[in-house]
Amino acid sequence: MFYTIKELVEQADSRFDGNIAELMIETEIELTGRSREEILYIMSRNLEVMKASVVNGLTESKSISGLTGGDAVKMDQYLKSGKTLSDKTVLTAVRNAMAVNELNTKMGLVCATPTAGSAGCLPAVLSTAIDKLHLSEKEQVDFLFTAGAFGLVIGNNASISGAEGGCQAEVGSASAMGAAALVKAAGGTAFEASQAVAFVIKNLLGLICDPVAGLVEVPCVKRNALGASFALVAADMALAGISSQIPVDEVIDAMYQVGASLPTAFRETAEGGLAATPTGRRLSQEIFGH
């Protein structure tokens, strides 16, 4: 069992030749008592749901509230226009993240990674990696176990809940998990994966959770899109050999401290930030009548 990112990297290197996925599988066996076969089956099922959510979310239909829907299709059309400023890989991840979160707003089936509100980041990064790196089915499952290992440490030492730590704890964690898994999928080391985590989290420190009308829609869908793009950039920085001056475990500790210090209005209560703007309050009134 590992309790810090430092321990995660050390154990992966010393026991599994840097294979974080294998370390996480062993940890799951230890924590749950399930067999390896059962654990692999469950993760394979998660993988199926994630990939399906990217496809099923790419529609023009609106959410139940009417606040969101159709933006993933707009990004898809923009990508096909050939006029994009950003790299196709990055914008594909952006599109896919929005597709998953828009599906969530329509009560579709998504895999909460680590929460439903941040469920778009990891499938978006994974689907991009599948196309870019031509990952096999086993490599795709390993991607998820690797992401889960880093998410386990973040969840235990900080938070993955917007109500506890703001959106830095939700989209921040999801983006960091995706960045780390992407580094390993691209052939990076366990240490490089840990640096990608540091890059994402320290650049999303202080991100508040301010859902308009209390619904996981605005600004959540677009934050997942930007979170996915953060993951790709952070992974490239780590693979380039860039490292964080602040150790990743200290970055995670800082996220916990920042989250604990956020006023209640900025922790999923819909009492501050974008939710408290005149337009945010008007939309809440139109949806709920109060």
Summarize pLDDT for 46-55 with one digit per residue, the tens. 999 999 999 9
Distance CA 130, CA 187 (A): 14
CA 210 to chain centre: 18
Listed in sequence order, the residues at least 6 apart from 23 whose beta carbon sits closer than 8 Å to its beta carbon are 2, 8, 11, 12, 15, 16, 149
Q: Please state, in angstroms and rounded to a whole number, the distance separating the CA atoms of residues 212 and 280.
A: 5
Token pair 């991100």 is at which residue?
207
Give counts: helices (H), strands (E), the chain: 13, 0
Instruction: Give φ, ψ of 7 to 5 degrees.
Output: -65, -40
Cis peptide before 211 (omega within 30 of 0): no
Domain count, the chain: 1
- Which residue segment(s) compose the domain that 262 sits in? 5-288
232-254 pLDDT tens trace: 999 999 999 999 999 999 999 99
pLDDT digits (tens, 9 = 90+) for 68-107: 999 999 999 999 999 999 999 999 999 999 999 999 999 9
CATH number of the structural domain spanning residue 41: 1.10.4100
